[in-house]
Amino acid sequence: MWLKEKIRVAAGDGVADVLIKNGRVVDVFSGQIEKKDVAIFGGTIIGFGGYRAREIIDVKGDFLCPGFIDGHVHIESSMVTIPEFAQTVLPHGTTTVVIDPHEIANILGAKGIQFMAESARGVPFNVFVMLPSCVPATHMETAGATLKANDLKPFFREPWAIGLAEMMNFPGVISGNLEVLKKIKMAKGKRMDGHAPMLSGKGLYAYLTAGIRSDHECTTLKEAKEKLKNGMWIMIREGTTAKNLRDLIPLVNLKNSRRFFFVTDDRHPKELLEKGHINSMVKDAIRWGLDPILAIQMATLNTAEYFRLDDFGAIAPGYRADMVSFDHLGRFRIKKVFKDGMLVAEDGKMLPSLITKTKIPRIKETIRIKSFKKEAFLLRSDIPFAKVIQLIPGQIITQKSVKKIVLKDGVAYPNIEEDILKIVVIERHQATGNIGMGFVQGFGLKKGAIGSSVAHDSHNLVMVGTNDPDILKAAMTIKEMKGGLVVVSEEKILASLALPIAGLMSEAPISKVNCQLKTLHHAAKNLGCKIPDPFMTLSFLSLPVIPELKITDKGLVDVHQFKFVPLFGED
């Protein structure tokens, strides 16, 4: 009966809920822009032109385009809950996100997925879930949970579960790992996202043969070209640390643009608040030469069509009335945001009546580590050379190098003059006592230490520092906070941010989280740190599926060889 009523009103026999007048509508199907009125009924666009309506909103010649869709995001990386995230990105024009909750799933398993789904209830925001495919990401680290195909199966019955998230274990796909193939078979008929940095040639062919159809790990034109011509949709990523937009935009043209869409993957509060979300990618793509219509398609229709969200991503009859008004194709300043035909944000702010106070489900304490003495962090060696993780600015990939280190009485120490610092990973889920230790170059710290419970993907504790006492103090402080970020010097806490929700997210508003992050960054900078967002960089150093050299609670990992390697020695 509800559908019948929609059809009746669309046919002109009835009264629409809302008529948005005098908009220059961006038609993402034809690539044209046409001035017309948009009629909405029951949250759906029902037609254009002369309709009677209960409410009329005049956008006075502004452009109207579909609401933006983020095709791949880990909301946990924003360090705030879904309601807070939604209220942050809605004013920027994002009305839909496709999330991969594998961060919290690596800690809490199926309960983590359910937590994210329940957190989205009652929020004027579309949240779709790609079910985590790799929990744990690999056997080379200790995670808090294991999700097998049978654990994921019940979720596929949920309307919000639309596919299988990034298949990071591409070696498992290529080698025919039975559990991996079981997940792929179970997801047949739904989208399966990829995650295959630098995979090429026959290895790539094997990966694609499994039915995986996208990738967000392209960092060069050469890599993106090969994946594109072999049938992959290219997710162009612009996160806080991994920024690939400028490098990949030159590949997009009129002939191939429909195979690209935008994702943020991981963004911190500062960037969300100051730069924006998908709107910032559209604006930058236009600034770097992309046709504005193509950029808008990549932020809307392309994403919807990839995920088979058939009534999203366009301003057309039968589509969700999620729309954005903006002033100029070049400036791209967002003015109004409509969700299901309702005005929810204007001039960069949520309407006060729509700021939700959703009650977030409670999560038990998740930081479980043994008490350590500083002697536990001694690195004993009689070899004066060690493999060092070298940071690459603006990327989450690293380089492997061999450096001469400082040895005193058979103990290896950081070489502060050469910016070779100690990195320590402590297992935090089962209190096993596992400690992985190594060296990293690129942070620039001259004293003290920084630490975090956000460490992709298993989220063990990770610290980088100039000395063991400060590294130990950082770890114990994180435990006391039930998760979080910290800067320490001379065993004193200089700045901290508590993340009690699984050690990943705060219960505080994003403005407060951002303020605390600024204090953390300032404190780290005062210790000599030369990275703008050291905690985001730190969070990826224990991810053993991203080349080239990483470290977990079990040891140093050569990602290309996909095996543990000794810290000391030149080979």
DSSP assignment of 486-503 equals EEEETTEEEEEEE-TBTT
pLDDT of residue 546: 83
How many Cβ atoms are within 10 Å of 430's Cβ, its own excluded? Answer: 12
390 and 276 inside one domain: no
| Residue 118, domain CATH | 3.20.20.140
Q: What global pTM score does this model have?
A: 0.92
Q: Residue 98 has which token pair?
A: 């496709």
205 and 298 inside one domain: yes
* 115 in a structural domain: yes
Q: Residue 519 has which token pair?
A: 């204090």
Domain end among 259, 280, 310: 310
192 and 269 inside one domain: yes
119 and 207 inside one domain: yes
- Beta bridge partner(s), residue 343: 338
What is the rounded CA–CA span in Å between residue 226 and residue 222? 6
* 353 in a structural domain: no
| Helices 510-526, 82-89: crossing angle, 10 deg rounding | 90
303 and 394 inside one domain: no
Domain end among 255, 283, 310: 310
Q: By residue range, what is the domain housing residue 256?
A: 68-310
Q: Is the peptide bond before 136 cis (omega within 30 degrees of 0)?
A: yes
277 and 380 inside one domain: no
* 514 in a structural domain: yes
Per residue of the chain (571 residues), what is the pLDDT tens digit? 789 999 999 999 999 999 999 999 999 999 999 999 999 999 999 999 999 999 999 999 999 999 999 999 999 999 999 999 999 999 999 999 999 999 999 999 999 999 999 999 989 999 999 999 999 988 899 999 999 999 999 999 999 999 999 998 898 999 999 999 999 999 999 999 999 989 999 999 999 999 999 999 999 999 999 999 999 999 999 998 788 999 999 999 999 999 999 999 999 999 999 999 999 999 999 999 999 999 999 999 999 999 999 999 999 999 999 999 999 998 899 999 999 999 999 999 999 876 666 677 778 789 999 888 878 899 999 999 999 999 988 777 899 999 999 999 999 999 999 999 999 999 999 999 999 999 999 999 999 999 999 999 899 999 999 999 999 999 999 999 999 999 999 999 999 999 999 999 999 999 999 999 999 999 999 999 999 889 989 999 999 888 899 999 999 999 988 899 999 997 7
Is 522 within 8 Å of 497 (Cβ atoms)?
no
495 and 398 inside one domain: yes
Nearest residue to 26 via CA among 311, 308, 285, 323: 323
* 319 in a structural domain: no
At 177, phi and psi to the nearest 5?
-55, 125
What is the rounded CA–CA span in Å between residue 520 and residue 514? 10
CA angle, residues 416, 421, 425, in degrees to nearest 5? 160
Q: Residue 42 has which token pair?
A: 């029951």
| Helices 110-119, 82-89: crossing angle, 10 deg rounding | 50
pLDDT of residue 356: 64
pLDDT of residue 19: 98
Structural domain count of the chain? 2
* 501 in a structural domain: yes
380 and 524 inside one domain: yes
* 484 in a structural domain: yes
Please, where are the H alpha helices in 153-244?
170-175, 178-186, 201-209, 221-229
pLDDT of residue 357: 66
Domain end among 265, 281, 310: 310
Task: Find the largest Cα–Cα distance for the chain.
Answer: 89
378 and 305 inside one domain: no
Nearest residue to 325 via CA among 274, 263, 279: 279
* 571 in a structural domain: no
Strand (E) positions, 294-333? 323-326
168 and 279 inside one domain: yes
Is 457 within 8 Å of 543 (Cβ atoms)?
yes
Nearest residue to 237 via CA among 105, 395, 345: 395
400 and 298 inside one domain: no
* 233 in a structural domain: yes
Is 25 within 8 Å of 64 (Cβ atoms)?
yes
Per-residue CA distances from 473 to 374, 376, 452, 486 (Å): 9, 13, 12, 9
**What is the SS3 assignment for 370?**
coil
pLDDT of residue 54: 97
247 and 385 inside one domain: no
- Beta bridge partner(s), residue 35: 24
Total H helices, total E strands in the chain: 17, 31
What is the rounded CA–CA span in Å between residue 484 and residue 476? 11
Q: Residue 57 has which token pair?
A: 């909103």
